[in-house]
Every structure is written in C-alpha cells, then in structure tokens.
Structure 1
Amino acid sequence: MASIEKQAPPSNIVAGTGTYRDGLTEPAKDNRYKTEDVTDTKGRDFEDFFLKRELLMGIFEKGFEKPSPIQEEAVPIILQNRNVLARAKNGTGKTAAYIIPCLEKTDTTLKSIQVLILIPTRELALQTSAIVKEIGKHMGVQCMVTTGGTSLKDDIMRLYNPVHIIVATPGRILDLASKKVADLSQCQTIIMDEADKLLSPEFQPVLEQIIGLCHEEHQICLFSATFPVTVKNFCKKSVPNAYSINLMDELTLRGITQFYAYVEERQKVHCLNTLFSKLEINQSIIFCNSVNRVELLAKKITELGYSCYYIHAKMQQANRNRVFHEFRNGATRHLVTSDLFTRGIDIQSVNVVINFDFPKNSETYLHRIGRSGRFGHLGLAVNLITYDDRHSLRRVEQELGTEIRAIPPVIDRSLYVG
C-alpha cells in the first residue's frame, strides 16, 4: 500500500461522493446503551427548576426528557446568578446546562443584549446558536451568532434590531463591541464554553477586554472537560467565589473503548481499510495532525471506494459549514479532519473515532475521542501507533488514568453499537 505522503491533494472540498453500502443507523435512544455520566442522576425533572412554560415546551420538543447530571447541577446554580466553574465530559448535555438557565433569565421586554456566550470555533458557535433557537423557540428570545470569517456588514445590520442572546467568537464580538455596534453594557451573564481553549494565552487579553465592556454586576460561567493552569489563574483573577461542579471523576472516558494498532507509517492506509471492512460504523471521524495529511488521506479513502469528506481550518468558512452540515445530516459516513473538529461538535451517530495520527498531548486525545460516545452512548476509539508514538501513548494512559489495549482480531460489537 502506497504511503499517504505520495498522493496529490484533491482540488475539491468534498473528497468523494461514493454511496453507502447501507443506510446510516440512528444511535440507540434506549438507556440500556447509555453510560452512567448521563443516566446516574438524582431523579430531578425539568419542572423542578420552576422554568417558564414556554421554555419547558422547547426543552421537551427538543427531545430532552429528564436533566442529565451536569444539567441537574448547573441549572439551579446559574439561575442564582452565581459564578460557575464546571467540569463535565463533552456529550453529557453540557451545552443545554447553560442554555436553559440563560433562556429562563432573559427578559424579552428589554431590547438589550443580556447573555453573551463565548465559543472558540465558528462551527461550535453555529451549533450552539441553533440549540438556543430550538429550545427557546416559544419564548420570543432573539439570538444572534457572530464569528470571524463572515460579513461584518450583515452583523451590523442585524444589531439594528433587538438581540437578547449573542453567541460569538472572541475576536468578532470584541470588534463589534469596541466599535459601539454591539452594546454589552447590560449583559450580566457571560458563558465561556470550552474554556480551556478560550483562555489560551493568545485569547486571554481579548477575553479580559470583553468582560470589561459588560455590566459591572455580571456572572461568569466556565464550562470545559479540562482545566489547565491558564484557566485556574484566570478564575482566581476574574471569577470570584465560583461554584465548582466536577463530574469528571472516573467519567472522563467512560463508555469509550480504546484500542491501539501497532503499525509502520506505510501500513496505516491498509490498516484503515481493514477497519472500515470489519467495523460496524454508523459514522466515523478520522484525525490527522496536519492539514496536508487530512487532504491526502481523504483522497486515498475515496480511491478505496468509501464515501468521505474532509474539513480543516484552512478551508473557506462557507465550505467548512457545508461539509459539517452535510456530515451531520448523514450525507457521508466518514470525515477526515484536523484538530479543528475536536471541540464540542455534537453528532450522536458518530460511534467510531480513529486517530490516523496519534495526538501530541493527552488533552487533545481526550477531546478527539470524545467525539464518539456522545450523550452517554457507547463509542470506539482506535489509535494507529508507530514506533515514534510509543512514548506518547504511555504518557496519555498515565495522565488520563486510562488503559489503551492492543486491538483484538475481532471487536465485540456490543462495545460500540447500540
């Protein structure tokens, strides 16, 4: 099998338009196939939070029946206007845990921006704003999403009309607020999702400027699966008396079975082909460590006869949006991506993640494989390991307190197929 580096990159955005060998199967909705980080609740109902009737209608129409553990913990605390520091695994209902109280607190008789939800990536911002609109559709709440790479003029025109909740990437909202186009002076609730990414050194000064433009008596709620030193330092400085929620004890990788396959670089594509033929894949995400390798691998997978798209940070935003939307709607079974796609992307039918290139650190590993096992469903992570990756593999196991086992000849379907 030829090495991936020898392939020419494709010129098209969507790599291949092959058809499925069978239809996509819906992820199991039965609790028998869910993990404890979603099912191990205190037995509360959404009605217990004394939410507006219109909000409850949106919650139930969205398909939520009972609060997940992070929702049980976070919703009442955020409603008390307290600062919150919440650790929870991606895919456990974290987004709704802050959207629900934000919607409840929004006063639609006012025309001001009352909630600012800061998101590190454009794709996640679009997804989050869509969930705000779905859950709040009976409330008359006006939600706007604004990210870099889109028309500033369109955003300015939109802000002539009332906006109650704004979902934004940091650079764009600072641009709008500093130009006096977006008035944050009445914004009293600031949500930071994927806080570890938002508070990386290059973002932190921007975040501090944005907070300075908000109402003096604001609350800040940080949500993330990991809290490195940068987040802890920011909290000491800017998030006083934060209520801590930590649902990550022994839950970090629950429900995701992890294997490694020891291969030479030139064997990787052949190994991937074998996995495709042997596994029962609803949808898979395949990670590479560089943009160039993403495109090359997508082309190779297409040549093998599989339907495959790719997405990475150097693509035009409109093309990224199209690929993400089509993958989410089941237009292709496989998606090859760089680490752009590790943050909070919620596609429940993804049951297999493959690290074609092993990640450089344990936090990236955690976010990558968290793309499977969404909202408590089971998932499978397969890592293609070369001789040079062996130390990184052991370090990830030690730092995350997990075990990555050698891949068996046959993988039990009950580990990852609901």
Structure 2
Amino acid sequence: MEVYVDDEAKLTLHGLQQHYVKLKETEKNRKLLELLDLLEFNQVVIFVKSVQRCGALHQLLSEQNFPSIAIHRQMPQEERLARYQAFKDFQKRILVATDLFGRGMDIERVNIVFNYDMPEDSDSYLHRVARAGRFGTKGLAITFVSDETDAKTLNSVQDRFDISITELPDTIDVSTYIEGRTN
C-alpha cells in the first residue's frame, strides 16, 4: 500500500526551515528561554503534550517576562476563542498550546513553532509546524528531541515527507525565517 502526501503538505514543509535540538527533558526550559532570547520573531507557537505542561510552561514564561498566553482543551470554548483572538490580534506574542491548536488555525504573524514536546506522529508534526510560514511566508520550526521515542518520530517525519531536519546550528540568519528581513 502506498501513502500519498498531498502536494500542499510537501510545499508547506519544504518552505520551512526545520531543525531539532537533542537535549535532556530537564534541559528543555532553559533551552527554550535561551532560544526565545536569541531568536527574532513576530509571534511564536509552542506545542506541548498535555494540559498540565501547557499551564506550567505558560506560567514559567510569564514569570520570565515573556508575553505568553495558553490554550488547551480543558478551557471552555468561549475562553479558547477569546484567547485565540487575543493572540491573533497580536496582544500576545507567544502562545503555548496542546495539539488542539495544531489544526486549522491561521495566524499570519507566526514565524516560529517550537515542538517543546514531540508530537505523536507525522500528521501531528505537519499540522503543528504548518502554523509557521503560512500564507507563503518564511518560517522556522524547532523540535526538542529528548529520548529514543522522539528520535524515531522525527525520523518517520523525515521519511514520510522526504525532508531533512538538521540539528539547530549555532547561528541562524534571520532573513531565512522572517519575511523581508536581511542579515
């Protein structure tokens, strides 16, 4: 049986700059804060695997003076929509979310997506990272790999979509992931 990936999915992934960071689970917070300080961005979406992690990471970011907002499935629909609208209206620059947010949300200013926790499968990866670089713009996706299961998922993403996801380099040219910017 052959699985065909639609052309739009391939185009989405091939237009994105995609990297991974190999690290221990306990190093994720420090690395995320370091990268948020280092990288230039319009808006960022950070995907996590659970409601609990969503709340905890949002709290950490707020304590570190990063303007974040959280969206997860245990919030009432009205609250989720209000927070989505606030993010879309650029009232906050960082969104921490579960996979609930991964599908169908289009926000033009998002140019970086972090997979703080590895998605469960290649479909979820596609839906998450496709939040960056929408509307034909550039984007950057950074995935944290903290164990063997994460590494296997990353390999399956690369195989399925025929892409190469490389280790995050020490420096990234801002013009490669933000539209209209030069180094």
SS at 1:251 equivalent: helix
Partner residue of 1:257?
17
Among 263, 279, 293, the residue aligned to 2:53: 293
Partner residue of 2:38?
278
Say which structure, 1 or 2, has more relative contact order (CA 8 Å, 6+ apart).
2
Which blocks of at least 5 consecutive residues in structure 2 are unaligned?
A: none
Which blocks of at least 5 consecutive residues in structure 1 are unaligned?
A: 1-225, 229-245
1:314 aligns with 2:90: no
Structure 2 Cα separation of the partners of residues 417 and 249 of structure 1: 20
1:247 to 1:387, Cα distance in 2 relative to 1, 3 A: closer
Scaled by the length of structure 2, the TM-score of the pair is 0.91
1:340 to 1:227, Cα distance in 2 relative to 1, 3 A: farther
Which residue type is aligned with residue 392 of structure 1? T
Offset, 1:248: 3.3
Alignment of 1:196-275 (within 5 A): 247-248=7-8, 250-275=10-35
1:409 aligns with 2:163: no
Which residue type is aligned with residue 92 of structure 2? T
Offset, 1:365: 0.2
Alignment RMSD: 1.7
Alignment of 1:280-359 (within 5 A): 280-359=40-119
Which residue type is aligned with residue 407 of structure 1? L
Offset, 1:252: 3.9
Which residue type is aligned with residue 172 of structure 2? I
Please list the CA deviations of residues 202-240 of structure 1 after superposition, one character each: whole Å capped at 9, or x if unmatched.
xxxxxxxxxxxxxxxxxxxxxxxx989xxxxxxxxxxxx
Structure 2 Cα separation of the partners of residues 303 and 265 of structure 1: 20
Among 118, 123, 127, the residue aligned to 1:367: 127
Structure 1 Cα separation of the partners of residues 4 and 101 of structure 2: 19
What is the aligned-residue identity percentage?
Answer: 37
Please list the CA deviations of residues 285-337 of structure 1 after superposition, one character each: whole Å capped at 9, or x if unmatched.
00001111111111111111111100011101121111011000000110000
Structure 2 Cα separation of the partners of residues 279 and 336 of structure 1: 17
1:300 to 1:227, Cα distance in 2 relative to 1, 3 A: farther
Structure 1 Cα separation of the partners of residues 17 and 94 of structure 2: 19
Is the 2:14–2:163 Cα contact (8 Å) retained in structure 1?
A: no
Among 145, 152, 156, the residue aligned to 1:391: 152
Offset, 1:260: 0.3
Which of these two proteins has the greater Rg computed from alpha carbons? 1
1:318 to 1:397, Cα distance in 2 relative to 1, 3 A: same
Aligned residue pairs total 176
Structure 2 Cα separation of the partners of residues 250 and 277 of structure 1: 30
Is the 2:111–2:138 Cα contact (8 Å) retained in structure 1?
A: yes
Please list the CA deviations of residues 133-153 of structure 1 after superposition, one character each: whole Å capped at 9, or x if unmatched.
xxxxxxxxxxxxxxxxxxxxx
Please list the CA deviations of residues 40-60 of structure 1 after superposition, one character each: whole Å capped at 9, or x if unmatched.
xxxxxxxxxxxxxxxxxxxxx
1:249 to 1:331, Cα distance in 2 relative to 1, 3 A: closer
Is the 2:9–2:126 Cα contact (8 Å) retained in structure 1?
A: no
1:303 to 1:253, Cα distance in 2 relative to 1, 3 A: same
Offset, 1:343: 1.1
Is the 2:10–2:161 Cα contact (8 Å) retained in structure 1?
A: no
Partner residue of 1:183?
none
1:265 to 1:249, Cα distance in 2 relative to 1, 3 A: closer
1:249 to 1:416, Cα distance in 2 relative to 1, 3 A: closer
Offset, 1:250: 4.4
Is the 2:48–2:115 Cα contact (8 Å) retained in structure 1?
A: yes
SS at 1:371 equivalent: coil
Scaled by the length of structure 1, the TM-score of the pair is 0.41
